[in-house]
């Protein structure tokens, strides 16, 4: 198995887990917050997709993010450059509830572009450092970061869904 195949397989498995977790979400589960400083599934999904878009499209390829290029920011009425980094609990609490089907469609569009880029890489490309000001972040390290974050947030989503279904009170 090549590195590209491993990353693609990791993305496919993560997508399977994610779709299993979100396919039957209710509105209440989508916005459930376990505490006043906790994230909800709605925000986590948006953040996951926005971060992948930022890393691949903007950081590596130095192109407009799909969020902006395809007008998703306008569809959702959200800022172009925001991706949730350093959001405060108040920002998460006040984050608008997004249409789940539309948000997942953005994620699908984004993932298709990520996979297209991934499949274009050769082994040496993973060592490339796209931004001189971030020499610690090679293309390979960025893909590792994305995979790690997606599995981490996927776990958060499943856990939050379980809490919401257990009858726990939302913040």
Token pair listed for 74:
């306008």
CATH topology of domain 3-20+28-165: 1.20.120
Distance from C-alpha of 33 to C-alpha of 47, rounded to nearest angstrom = 15
CA torsion sign, 23 to 29 to 34 to 40?
positive
Distance from C-alpha of 147 to C-alpha of 73, rounded to nearest angstrom = 24
Core vs surface per residue 124-146: b (16+ CB within 10 A) or e:
ebbeeeeeeeeeebbbbebbeeb
pLDDT tier, 100 (very low <50, low <70, confident <90, very high otherwise) = very high
pTM: 0.95
CA 54 remoteness from chain centre: 10
Q: pLDDT at position 82, please?
A: 94
Domain boundaries, the chain: 3-20+28-165
Q: What percentage of the chain reaches a pLDDT higher than 70?
A: 100
Question: pLDDT by residue (tens digit) across 118-152?
Answer: 999 999 999 999 999 999 999 999 999 999 999 99
CB under 8 Å to 105, separation ≥6 — which residues?
none
């Amino acid at each position: 198995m090549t590195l590209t195949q491993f990353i693609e397989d990791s993305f496919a498995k993560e997508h399977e887990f994610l779709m299993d977790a979100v396919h039957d979400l209710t509105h209440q589960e989508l916005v459930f917050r376990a505490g006043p400083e906790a994230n909800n599934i709605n925000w986590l999904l948006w953040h996951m997709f926005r971060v992948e878009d930022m890393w691949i499209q903007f950081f590596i390829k130095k192109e407009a993010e799909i969020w902006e290029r395809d007008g998703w920011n306008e569809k959702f009425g959200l800022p172009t450059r925001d991706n949730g980094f350093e959001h405060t609990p108040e920002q998460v609490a006040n984050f608008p509830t997004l249409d789940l089907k539309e948000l997942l469609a953005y994620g699908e569009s984004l993932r298709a572009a990520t996979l297209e880029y991934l499949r274009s890489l050769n082994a040496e490309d993973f060592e490339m450092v796209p931004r001189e000001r971030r020499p610690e972040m090679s293309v390979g390290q960025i893909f590792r970061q994305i995979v790690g974050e997606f599995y981490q947030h996927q776990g958060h989503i499943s856990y939050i869904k379980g809490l919401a279904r257990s009858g726990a009170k939302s913040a």
